[in-house]
Amino acid sequence: MKRIVTIQDISCFGKCSLTVALPIISAMGVEAAILPTAVLSTHTGGFKNFTFRDLSEDIPKIFAHWKNEGIDFDAIYTGYLGSFEQIDLMKEFISAKPDKTLAFVDPAMADNGMLYPGFTPEFARHMATLCAKADIIVPNITEASFMLGADYIESGYDRAYIKDMLRRLAALGPKYAVLTGVGFEPDKLGVAMYNKEKDEFSYYFNEKIDAKFHGTGDIFASACVGALMRGKTLKRALEIAADYTVLCIRLTMPDRDNHWYGVEFEKAVPELLKMLEE
């Protein structure tokens, strides 16, 4: 069985970060170790007066213990990181990994043209230095724009714009650059991938659902890295992750007023497992 370590926060309520990564990866038949970077009472989207406890002080001790115990991983998957210090710690951890270990970075810090609360453009530029250490990065267009210092275009862009952004992301260092939330038609939304070694682009689109939910990026990234560990190519892993995310949203829509804080990803797990067998 393959083993992933996923490194991001625990939002105790809200269906994001570790509370979706752990169950999704485990359900896919992959061992999921975790390293919490912080503990929050809820996620930061739409809740007021949430609690936050930074766990940066514990991270080097955890890394040291794993090293002493000879614990290794087939993939390192980073998500939401709360500080410059945590980014630097992840850079050190990835730099020390064996060559066979996949480094998968989701620079979760922005969406819809805006950074998450507490983040700055300087933080985004520092996140780009972590992406430089990765094999695969999966930013959305907002995150990519901030990391590259590029103007954010919400809609109306063309393939040349996306190709240029992917090439610039790959120039940071990763072997594969992926952009999520890409759409060239009003009713379609999907992902774009660039293979730097082959100078090849590929795209995959689903229906665009007129709704916004927290945590869908975490669901996408978790399903993608899980599929990779099950032996799928990156192209197929992205397709599985996109289809699963769309299904999660679709199943949540009838009760969206009660589940505005996150999607009912649990209901779609059986279909996710079927996708892995295809």
pLDDT in tens, 151-190: 999 889 999 999 999 999 999 999 999 999 999 999 999 9
Calculate mean pLDDT across residues 246-271. 95
Cβ proximity of 74 and 229 under 8 Å: yes
Calculate mean pLDDT across residues 13-36. 97
Residue linked to tokens 């514990």 = 58
Q: Tell me: the pLDDT tens digits for 30-80?
A: 999 999 999 999 998 889 999 999 999 999 999 999 999 999 999 999 999
Share of the chain above pLDDT 90, in %: 92
How far apart are the two ends of the chain, measured CA to CA in Å? 19
Q: Which helix (H) or strand (E) holds 144?
A: helix 141-148
Per DSSP, the residues of 12-26 read EESS-THHHHHHHHH
Burial of 21 (0-12, 13-18, 19+ CB in 10 A): buried
Q: Which residues contact 258 (CB under 8 A, 6 or more apart)?
A: none
* Beta strand 136-137 pairing with 188-195: unpaired
Q: How confident is the model at residue 155, as a pLDDT?
A: 87
